[in-house]
Structure 1
Amino acid sequence: MTRIGFHASHEQISPAALLHDVQHAEKAGFAMAMCSDHFSPWSARQGHSGYTWSWLGAALATTNLTMGCVSAPGQRYHPAVAAQKIATLSQMFEGRFWVALGSGEASNEHITGETWPRKEVRDQRLDECVDVIRRLLAGEVVSHDGLVTVDRARLWDLPEQQPKLLAPVVSTQSAARVASWADGLITVLQPIDDLRRVIDSYRDAGGRGDLALQLHLSWASSEDEAESIAHDQWRSNVFGAPVSWDTETAEAFDLVSDKVTVEQVRESVRVSSDLGRHREWIHELAELGFDDIYLHHVGQEQRAFIDAFGSEVLPGLAASHDRQA
């Protein structure tokens, strides 16, 4: 049965409010949660960007949910420090934490002042970071000289259960490339045929583990309001590579998204005031084989969304699965 989770968007909501939101999501019936790991939002209108790793400690301690985040080691985070953070959360909350390791975006990584590498170099750097992190989590003393440098690093506190290291991907090429190291795959909403090709590419290359999807959606009591929320909050996020990879500031994202239409936003966000329509969309995505689907209402106010989906959408999805079984 596909599990339905809550996505906590640090770019859009303050850490304190987001902590209450994830606690409320658990009470409403969401089975798990994930969050972003940004230094900068995608838009000045979003206006937030709390430190994910502090927030995760509080969220894991005050809920019983399994949680994870998408993070980029190699520039903003040294891989040994990333491994220490992963190990600490995993040791405190055994079996409840995972992380998806990506190659990053300039909007978060440029703050170090280092050169932003070409994509193929970032991919190679990620591979090195994953190797370093895995070896540290296995208890090794690690030294490494390459695109990242590590000198005799060792983690002194390790979890009994190894946390899953997932791969966040969008393209079929990336899905095939990460299959050699990933414990599972997580992707974002795309056309159904594109999602099917990503899954096939990952599995055909030997990819193992669960498949997860982050589903951007917008719901409100009226269609106009749902559209307005999506257009206001998510029009800076409709761009593919290289814009999404290489744009450095929230102000620059606002500039390039100034002419984005509601119709363009609808290509990346499921927009409807009809809860039944949202349930159908989620069911369609689950049928592709996703084990986990994380719902991200792109609005800044989450309570009404959590209540409505908790009472009207999640039970309907469970009932549909039971009928099929």
Structure 2
Amino acid sequence: MTRFGFHASHEQISPRQLLADVQHAEQAGFEMAMCSDHLFPWGARQGHSGYAWAWLGAVLATTDLQLGCVSAPGQRYHPAVHAQKIATLGQMFPGRFWVALGSGENVNEHVTGAAWPRKEVRTARLEECVDVIRRLLAGEEVSHDGLVTVDRARVWERADPTPLLVGPAVSVESAARVAGWADGLVTLNQPEDRLRELLAAYRDAGGRGRASLQVHLSWAPDEDEAERIAHDQWRSNVFAEPVNWDTATPEAFDVMSEPVTPAVVHDHVRISTDLGRHREWLAEYAALGFDDVYLHFVGRDQARFVDTFGAEVLPQLR
């Protein structure tokens, strides 16, 4: 049976409030949670970007939820540092933490001053980092010279079980590639045909583990309000590759998103005042074969969404 969880968006909500929101979501019946890991928001209107790894410890300590995080090793985070963070959370909260390791976005990574690599280089760097992190989590001493450099690293805290290293993928090609190393798959809502192809590519390439989907949605009692929320908060997030990966600043995303209309946002966010329609959409995603579906209400005030979906959407889906 598909599980339904809560997505915590650090770019939109302060870490203190977001901690309360996840605790609220657990009480309302959400079964697990995941979060982003950004240094910058996608635009000034979002206005936040707390440090996900400090926040994860607080959430894991104050809920019983399983937590995941989408994070990028290789530039802002050295893979040995990444491995230590992963192992520490895994050791403190056995079996409750996973991480999806991606190639990152320039908006978060340019702060190191290093050049932002081409996509194929970022992909190769990620795969080197995954190998280093796996070996460190297994207790090895690791040295590595390549797109990342590691000198006699060792992580002294061991997690049992080892946290899952999940592969994030938006394209069919990426889904097939991460299948070679990932313990599971996580992706974003897209047209159903594309999601079906993406899932098939992952499984056909030998992909194992749970398949997870993050769904961007907007709901309010009034249709205009639901659309206003989505347009205000998520119009900076409608751009395809390579724009979304290569743009360097929130200010640039704001400029690019000025002409984006609500109709365009509808292509990326499930917007409706009708709870029955939201139930249908979520049931359709589950029917595609996703084991876990994380609901991301793209507004900044989560309480009304959490209460309403916890009472009137999730029970019917189960």
Quick check: TM above 0.5? yes
In 2, the alpha carbon distance for the partners of 1:132 and 1:309 equals 40
Deviations 1:31-53 (CA, angstroms, capped at 9, x unpaired)? 00000000000010000000000
Give the equivalent residue in structure 1 for 2:225.
Answer: 225
Question: What is the TM-score when the length of structure 2 is the normalising length?
Answer: 1.00
Deviations 1:3-60 (CA, angstroms, capped at 9, x unpaired)? 0000000000000000000000000000000000000000100000000000000000
Give the equivalent residue in structure 1 for 2:8.
Answer: 8
CA-CA distance at 1:160 after TM superposition: 1.5
Matched, 1:152 2:152: yes
CA-CA distance at 1:158 after TM superposition: 0.7
Amino acid at match of 1:269: V
User: SS state of the match for residue 214, structure 1?
Assistant: strand
CA-CA distance at 1:144 after TM superposition: 0.3
Amino acid at match of 2:227: E
Deviations 1:134-163 (CA, angstroms, capped at 9, x unpaired)? 000000000000000001111111111011
Give the equivalent residue in structure 1 for 2:181.
Answer: 181
Matched, 1:284 2:284: yes
User: SS state of the match for residue 287, structure 1?
Assistant: helix
In 1, the alpha carbon distance for the partners of 2:262 and 2:167 equals 30
CA-CA distance at 1:218 after TM superposition: 0.2
Aligned positions of 1:1-325 closer than 5 A:
1-318=1-318
In 1, the alpha carbon distance for the partners of 2:157 and 2:119 equals 33
User: SS state of the match for residue 25, structure 1?
Assistant: helix
Deviations 1:276-306 (CA, angstroms, capped at 9, x unpaired)? 1101100000000000000000000000000
Amino acid at match of 1:272: S
User: SS state of the match for residue 33, structure 1?
Assistant: strand
- Which residues of structure 2 form unaligned runs of 5+? none
Please identify, of 225-234 and 155-164, the stretch whose mean Cα deviation from structure 2 is larger: 155-164
In 2, the alpha carbon distance for the partners of 1:156 and 1:137 equals 9
Deviations 1:213-251 (CA, angstroms, capped at 9, x unpaired)? 000000011100000000000000001101100001111
Deviations 1:173-209 (CA, angstroms, capped at 9, x unpaired)? 1011111100010000100000000011111111111
Aligned residues: 318
User: SS state of the match for residue 26, structure 2?
Assistant: helix
Deviations 1:67-126 (CA, angstroms, capped at 9, x unpaired)? 010000000000000000000000000000000000000000001010000000000000
In 1, the alpha carbon distance for the partners of 2:264 and 2:169 equals 21
In 2, the alpha carbon distance for the partners of 1:218 and 1:116 equals 33
User: SS state of the match for residue 232, structure 2?
Assistant: helix
User: SS state of the match for residue 273, structure 2?
Assistant: coil
- Which residues of structure 1 form unaligned runs of 5+? 319-325
Amino acid at match of 1:73: P
User: SS state of the match for residue 214, structure 2?
Assistant: strand
User: SS state of the match for residue 157, structure 1?
Assistant: coil
In 2, the alpha carbon distance for the partners of 1:14 and 1:124 equals 33
Amino acid at match of 1:14: S
In 1, the alpha carbon distance for the partners of 2:301 and 2:156 equals 41
In 2, the alpha carbon distance for the partners of 1:94 and 1:298 equals 30
In 2, the alpha carbon distance for the partners of 1:87 and 1:111 equals 26
Across the aligned residues of Structure 1 and Structure 2, the Cα RMSD in angstroms comes to 0.4
In 2, the alpha carbon distance for the partners of 1:15 and 1:178 equals 30
In 2, the alpha carbon distance for the partners of 1:160 and 1:304 equals 38
State, as a whole percentage, how many aligned pairs show the same letter: 72
CA-CA distance at 1:308 after TM superposition: 0.1
